[in-house]
Chains A and B, each alone.
Chain A
Amino acid sequence: MTFKKIDPFFQILTFVLIISLTFFVSLTESFVLALFGVAYLFIQGAFKPGLKYLCVTLLTSLLLILILRTTNTYIGLLGWLITILFKLLPTMIFGVSLGLIPINELRSVMASFKIPNQLQMALIVGLRYFAILSDELHEIRQARLTHGLSFRNPIYFRRPLLIMDYYLVPTLMRTTKLIDDLSVAAYTEG
């Protein structure tokens, strides 16, 4: 099966457009943009992330519909957080799509836009950060399992604060280190 390659120039333009639209569109329009992004991924043969983001889009939409019907303050607060996520969803999906472009092609398109070299590198590092972060989260999950801490372990329910230790601490530590490492690597790349 051959997949369509979307022109990197067009992809960057779309990405910029989607970012600008994020703050101006309604929730229904965000939903349409997210679906458009998912279709974008499918067209390029990225079925796994496409399917993942389709599920996220549908789930968050469903949650939002349910939350909008309730009058509970706390659930309303949760709805506020989900609304932010939902608004950012199209940008995230189109960002993933941008990540599918080979770095060299992306760079040459950015060069044709006369984007300075340092800024090109910063954008590349930004894209790279999210890709590595997902690998890091996978490793952290495995590290938790080495301590026997899956949700089947009753200790989670006896000492819920452990969740904080085993989820938040390593995630924060690794993301900070990741930023340091990537900055150093970007520096050594000029």
Chain B
Amino acid sequence: MLKLEHVEYLVNKKNILSDINLEIKDGEKVAFIGPSGSGKSSLLQLINGVATFFNEDRINGTLSLKNKRLSEWSANELTKIIGNVFQDPRNQFFAKNVADELTLRLGNFLNDTKEIQRQSEKITADFKLEGLLKQSPAKLSSGQKQSVAFAVATSTNPELLVMDEPSANLDLPEILHIRDLLLNLPRKTSLIIAEHRLFYLLPVIDRFIYLKDGQIKAEFTPHQLKSLTAEQRSKMGLRSLEIDSFSEIAAHIRQTEQKDNKLLTAMNVSFGYNRRQNKLLREIGLAVTPGESIGLIGKNGVGKSTFAKLLAGLITPTHGKIFLENKRASRWRLQKEVWYVMQETTYQLFADSVWRELFLNLEQTPVLTAEAEQLLRDLKIGHLKERHPATLSGGEKQRLVLATALLHHPKILILDEPSSGLDQESLQCIIRVIRKHREQFSTTFLTISHDPQFLYQVCERVLVFKKNAQPLTYNVQGERYSAFF
């Protein structure tokens, strides 16, 4: 199906990939694994033809698909063979609603309207998209967008499916759903997937290819990968292979003393984006004490991020009240005291260097300067002080936005999917810094995440959101993550 011989890829005069030799057979399922910045996404871009199309002169070596050089395939021909799911599927959609998006793709290949309709209905049922058909892709939650992108990519039965971290923003049931869909892929369909979350890929993948510093360093069968010790995996920057293997790690989480003084209280908070539609959140209540660390979990689209934005004063509740230190809080006050780290961190980068980003809206006192230096060191981005934030990798941007937030010492810090797309090392960095700030400054953390490995290590209780219902609270200790669903 695909052959790469001595392939090199240069970006900004730097070798992003070097000496890549790889052969993928028809129907083979392959995963690219490795730490952030190892070249997984770049290799996918080479394979799906995007890099060849836009930067052919920066590629050395031979890439061939079905015994024909990749550069000789036209974009239209490649579309018929390769289906793509991007890491950030937001800009992958062109139509006004999900139903149109499906038929747009199908219309590229099929002429018969009835056949398009039949195929569209089948895909809708397979991917459980019935409730989303009329919705605009832009208004879907991240996980829903990813599911739709996957459905669109597979709708035309491509011979090769290329996926870049499809699970990054998905909740556990959706990841397992994706796993089932991958297991049900036709035998002749080849799959190439780049991932950090490995637990759901074990039954799907035939071969794991480990990349580091732009080179293929090792190959593993699922059995060989499983036989690596946790230490070996961690050293390689690989995440855990099991969903529920973190209970022991969580044992030393500091439990906040139950205090009477509430830092933040939400009373009967309701919100709906559209007056014509049902409310997304109905009479939600929450009380948070200083220094607490709470995880917000639940299926994609139930309103976790919306609730977080309400608490951060970014949007106004249609009903209900929010109190900060027992006083009714205006949006303005919430914006000052509650810091929200967005899921898509690129929006929150404003300055032209990492150091300037930290002090953009803050006076640079000696104490804060020392603290900023320490924070950057703790988050392992100290060497990037002079770099432009736009040139950082996803994980580095994530850590920079977190550093900026922590330097402002907000009373409450809300993190929206802080671990998506992070490798083991970056994840551990963030976990250590969160723990340190809870100890030193009693900062309160609210964390939205689908990542059990992360939640088990930073949260003492979780709030499980369900559609049109009050969220339920569970203590993390002693519970299995999967039990929350």
Interface of A toward B, CB cutoff 8 Å: 99-100, 102-104, 107, 117, 124-125, 128, 131-132, 135, 139-140, 142-143, 145-150, 152, 155, 162, 165-166, 169-170, 173-174, 177-178, 181-185, 187-190
Contacts and interface: CB of A to CB of B under 8 A. Distances in A.
A189 B94 contact: yes
Contacts of A128: 93-94
6 contacts: A104-B103, A143-B347, A150-B335, A185-B91, A188-B75, A190-B108
Contact of B104 (A100, A107, A135, A182): A107
Contacts of A181: 88, 90-91
Contacts of B50: 184, 187-188
A140 to B, nearest CB: 6
Interface in B79-110: 79-80, 82, 84, 86, 88, 90-97, 100-101, 103-105, 107-108
Task: Report whether over half of chain A's contact residues are helix, strand or loop; otherwise say mixed.
Answer: helix
A169 B349 CA distance: 9
B350 A145 contact: no
A148 B96 contact: no
Interface of B: 48-50, 53-54, 75-76, 78-80, 82, 84, 86, 88, 90-97, 100-101, 103-105, 107-108, 138, 309, 312-314, 332, 335-336, 339-342, 344, 346-352, 360-361, 390
B457 to A, nearest CB: 25
Nearest to A132: B91
A143 B79 contact: no
Closest 3 CB pairs of A and B: A190-B79, A181-B91, A143-B347
Residue among A135, A142, A152 with the most chain B CB within 10 A? A142
B335 A103 contact: no
B350 A169 contact: yes
A131 B79 contact: no
A145 B360 CA distance: 14
B351 A169 contact: yes
A143 B78 CA distance: 38
Contacts of A183: 54
Contacts of B339: 146
Given A102-B95, A102-B96, A148 B336 contact: yes
Given A103-B96, A185-B94, A188-B84, A117 B76 contact: yes
A152 B334 CA distance: 13
Nearest to A100: B96
